[in-house]
Amino acid sequence: EAGVTQFPSHSVIEKGQTVTLRCDPISGHDNLYWYRRVMGKEIKFLLHFVKESKQDESGMPNNRFLAERTGGTYSTLKVQPAELEDSGVYFCASSPNNNAQYFGPGTRLLVL
């Protein structure tokens, strides 16, 4: 069974540009989560989808971040416009229930 996949693995963009990150959860997992780790800090929750619905988006830092999960399969996280402080590693996780979350390899974002 394939695990959670994320694309791209790395992204380097300039401040003010737009970046879109993609996550493909484990097949059949209704729950999909986004987290991020900025330099030197803990991994922080961003939001939680159940199928295509946003269950909890309390961790989204501001309105420059937009997450979607049309059709309840893969999800995208768009940052527009990107700022320097958005640099970090963005993780996606999925779970069939709410007990165990399985993480992808992450996307390393660097905003210059």
Partner 1 sequence: GEDVEQSLFLSVREGDSSVINCTYTDSSSTYLYWYKQEPGAGLQLLTYIFSNMDMKQDQRLTVLLNKKDKHLSLRIADTQTGDSAIYFCAEIPGAGSYQLTFGKGTKLSVIP
Answer for which of 65, 106, 109, 111 binds partner 1 (CB under 8 A) is 106
Question: Per CB under 8 A, does 55 bind partner 1?
Answer: yes
53-56 vs 5-7, strand pairing mode:
unpaired
DSSP state of 70: G
Binding status of residue 32 toward partner 1 by CB under 8 A: no
Q: For partner 1, which residue of 8, 14, 43, 53 counts as binding (CB under 8 A)?
A: 43
Toward partner 1, which CB reaches closer, 17 or 108? 108
b vs e for 51-73, b when ≥16 Cβ sit within 10 Å of the residue's Cβ?
eeeeeeeeebeeeebebebeeee
Quick check: 2 binds partner 1 (CB under 8 A)?
Answer: no
Which 69-88 positions form the footprint of partner 1 (CB under 8 A)?
A: none
Supply φ then ψ for residue 51, to 5 degrees.
55, -125
